[in-house]
Structure 1
């Protein structure tokens, strides 16, 4: 039975679980508090009744002690007027002789048969419940020179019981109302809390049916659940961008790979038909095939490099290295390959700076940027490299005076396979992956790379990397 109940609770919606949980908690708290309060009040009222009957007994004993010289079994009836004034409603007073027979009985709306007379040698105070009545009895031995007996007080606690019952029902009804109100309030609060979750669930179903363009709407609460919905929207934005980039990447990669494969296929077909016996056709086809094979190899290698960077395979912890020697050494080798270019270098301001970066990665970043600068510079073959030390960063600037980049295309230059000068794609070698690789490397080392350019004036690439240490 308990297992079925537990299974039923687990299958309930969250809003009902929240409502039931809050209601149960409030019920337990309210029931515990009210029950404790009821017991304390009932005990306090009973103590008050006992105190009252004890005070009345003391008053009667004091009065009888004053009459002790004249008090005997014959004249005891003379104290009736005093007792009638002393007792209240629903009370009984008896003076009992030594043999247990009542000598005087005074009652006020109290049935004498409810309490049997009895002599005692020690005071006793207790309550009994004959039939439906509740009686508080107090007996005390009394002794003078002329009298030995027992004084008996009895009080019907009808008023006390009525008040206790009324208090119990008031607390019970108040508790039921409080639990009912708490259940309604808990359900309303649970619905309010669940609204962002319901919206999130509906959006996830819409995403499953309609695609990644669906978002959670009407997020205005500002609480944690609304923050969760906002986070979901941001995640979906990133996923949509990622899928769009992936689709574009597949399309661009297919386009880039299809061209050399088509050329290879054409030259191999030409060799198969006529090149076997024609040395000129054979030589031309072999040279073209080798060129396209090298191009394919370059594309594959750059794709592998980009994949390794993006999938966190570049995880080695680099020791801080002086950045200036890396720049100068890389530039020296690059200058030997491009003797017709003039390289203007100014790295004195970063000569004492250490950066936590792999020398190979720094060299690869510089080679990618320098290669683009050389590739897209046709007339004014001056390239300047400058290093600056900022507050917590090193800024490396590489500026050329080449053909530049149109402003409308600047936001896309770091995209994979993106080529700025579409008309010169066949004249200028390249895969469009270099800047994407450079950006990923720079971001891996918590840096930033930006490009500023004006068409037909030149391009400036700015690389910012955090400083690890400064040598004095």
Structure 2
């Protein structure tokens, strides 16, 4: 049998009040026995009984009102959660009068949790919609070419060759999209062991610079290296390299007539600061806030021609934030774009009188 919490707590508080009164009454009665006459003792006991009844009734009323106030607040919370269960995308939130108590603190935390859950739900919904949209075009292209080949195109060598080439191109784009989606999923589930690893900055930047110089011989790549020897950052080496590759790839893709890229890196006692700058198309002010959104592309048509899926910058941003760094962007349309990274430097500590930095000697995957 279900017993109301209102009844249970009202009864309990009332009984505690009554028990406290009985204890006081017994002590008072024994005290009076030694100093008063029989008539006075009888009158005093009658007053104690009447006072006990009054105090008990008052205790019941106060207990009921206090418990009812608490339960009303809990009912508001319960109704809000019921509304959200019926309509998960609702923006309903718990509304209570502001006051300095635990119930109000609880509602604030629940509302924050609901905000995060709704944001996550919206992101998942947008992600599914974006994936569906991105896959719709290559699937439609493949279907169109296959239908054409099935009807008549297979008998024409030129049409057959064009259709196969176009289909392969769309398949490669789908493969790239799927790989980037897998990368994005892995970013959200990084193993804690990676978060403890450190990377020596200078050799990595030198390697990335040399790789891109070889891949893009038609570009002028300015590398301003102001990295202190032995500087370490607490980030898995492959993740830092992945971020640099994403930013540099974007710089090369969106450079127009001026084939020039600038990469600069510097370290001080607290931070690694990295700047990747191109002198290409630039990004409009209205688009700057959204360039790190999943699947967002400033110019979808031009981005598709360049092979972009709109996931690279999302991956880079998330990776840097996981390692407690920041990634910002500045741009002027027609003049180019600048991406700035800041990552905390690992503190250098002396080891037995040696000033060399302590490195993480854990074997890296």
Q: TM-score range by the shorter chain?
A: 0.7 to 0.9
Q: Is the 8 A contact 1:219 1:230 kept in 2?
A: no
CA contact 1:404–1:459 (8 Å) conserved in 2: yes
* Residue 368 to residue 185, structure 1, CA distance change in 2 (3 Å): same
Equivalence for 2:13? 22
Structure 1 unpaired stretches of 5+:
1-6, 46-158
- Displacement after TM superposition at 1:437 (Å): 1.1
Distance 1:188 1:363, change over 3 A: same
Residues in 2 aligned to 1:247 and 1:15: alpha-carbon distance in whole angstroms: 41
What displacement does 1:441 show?
1.4
Secondary structure of the corresponding residue to residue 37 of structure 2: helix
Could you state the TM-score of these two structures normalised by the residue count of structure 2?
A: 0.87
Aligned counterparts of 1:380 and 1:231: Cα–Cα separation in 2 = 52
Answer yes or no: is 1:327 the counterpart of 2:205: yes
How much does 1:330 deviate?
1.7
> Unaligned regions of 5+ residues in structure 2, if any?
349-355, 358-365
- Is the strand fraction higher in 1 or 2? 1
Q: Which of 233, 252, 256 is the aligned partner of 1:378? A: 256
Pair 1:217-2:209 in alignment: no
Residue 214 of structure 2: aligned partner:
336
Partner of 1:161: 38
Is the 1:22–1:182 Cα contact (8 Å) retained in structure 2? yes
Task: Spell out the pairing of 1:120-199 with structure 2 (5 A cutoff).
Answer: 160-199=37-76
Matched, 1:387 2:282: no
Deviation at 1:253, TM superposition (A): 0.9
Tell me by how many angstroms 1:302 deviates: 0.8
d(CA) in 2 for partners of 1:25 and 1:345? 78
Question: Paired residue for 2:84, among 196, 201, 207?
Answer: 207
The Cα of 1:221 is off from its aligned counterpart by 1.8
- Flag the structure with larger Rg: 1
| 1:350, distance to aligned residue in structure 2 (A) | 4.3
Matched position secondary structure for 2:305:
coil
CA deviations over 1:145-183 (Å, ceiling 9, x no partner): xxxxxxxxxxxxxx6222222232323322332222222
Structure 1 residue 356: deviation in Å?
2.0
How many residues are aligned here?
348
Q: Deviations over 1:357-412 (max 9, x none)?
A: 11111111111111111111112333222224356432222122221111111121
Note if 1:427 corresponds to 2:305. yes
The structure 2 residue matched to 1:290, chosen from 165, 168, 176, is 168
Q: What is the root-mean-square deviation in Å for CA atoms of aligned residues?
A: 2.2
What is the CA-CA distance between 1:465 and the residue it aligns to?
A: 1.9
Deviation at 1:313, TM superposition (A): 4.1
Work out which structure has the larger RCO, using CA pairs closer than 8 Å and 6 or more positions apart in sequence.
Answer: 2
Secondary structure of 1:20's match?
A: helix
1:404·1:458 contact (CA, 8 Å) conserved in 2?
A: yes
Corresponding residue SS for 1:222: coil
Aligned position for 1:314: 191
Q: Pick the aligned partner of 2:154 from 243, 252, 276.
A: 276
